[in-house]
Amino acid sequence: MESVTNANFGPLIAYLVPGATVLVGFSQFSPVLRSWMGAAPADTPTIGGFLYLTVASIAAGMTVSAVRWALIDTLHSLTGLPLPPLDFSRLGKNVDALGLLIEIHYRHYLFYSNNFLSVAIAYTCYRVKLGGLSPLGWLDLAFVVLEVIFFITSRDCLHKYYARSRQLLASDVSSSHREAIRRRREHDPADHENPTPRP
């Protein structure tokens, strides 16, 4: 198995871990998934099973991420955390800095928000397997606490990513406005005496 490096750590936590969490939940209904995981005492995971499990986890993680985009991103946007306007014409020399922001903030946002959904899916599978919401216990309390932590942490990571990306790539509105006025005055010197824009 390839070792974990800076190059693959991001996709590992953003897609593979949430996807594997979903598969753990569905494995309660699938002997095939249980055999891939070696969940039964007499089973030992095979190389083929490990490969299938890895591919299936990535596919499940990507699917969860699509649902996350439709639900969690939208919720964050509607509750005061919209995507900031970014000027990608300024990316040039800032591409490495943006890549760093993605790795230290956005990848972690993907982990927390995707796991917010994947843990909910796994918990739902667990409850369906039990046949309902009763009885409740410490595991149920842990689920609620974990979901709250995942959601709050995802919002914090996204806020930091948006704020620092805005610092890096936000368009300089005041500078652009001054440049537009300067060009207009060069074109029409009369505007120097009457800077008010004409209709």
DSSP class per residue in 14-73: IIIHHHHHHHHHHGGG-HHHHHHHT-STT----HHHHHHHHHHHHHHHHHHHHHHIIIII
Residues with Cβ within 8 Å of residue 77, at least 6 apart in sequence? 83
Higher per-residue confidence, 169 vs 188: 169
Between CA 190 and CA 133 the distance in angstroms is: 76
pLDDT for the residue 35 = 82
Angle between helices 138-169 and 107-130 (to 10 degrees): 160
**What mean pLDDT comes out for the span 103-117?**
96
Show the tokens assigned to 47: 């190389």
pLDDT at 193 over 90: no
Band of pLDDT at residue 199, cut at 50, 70 and 90: very low
Q: Are 113 and 72 in contact (CB under 8 A)?
A: yes
Residue 165: burial class (beta carbons within 10 Å; 0-12, 13-18, 19+): buried
Using DSSP, state whether 164 is helix, strand or coil: helix
188 Rama class: left (phi>0) / alpha (psi -120 to 50) / beta: beta
Average pLDDT, the chain: 84
Residue 14: burial class (beta carbons within 10 Å; 0-12, 13-18, 19+): buried
Nearest CA-CA partner of 159 in 76, 44, 99, 58: 76
pLDDT for the residue 59 = 96
The pTM of the full predicted model, rounded to 2 decimals, is: 0.79
pLDDT for the residue 45 = 58
pLDDT at 165 over 60: yes
pLDDT for the residue 81 = 95
**What mean pLDDT comes out for the span 53-77?**
96
* Residue 93: CB atoms within 10 Å: 7
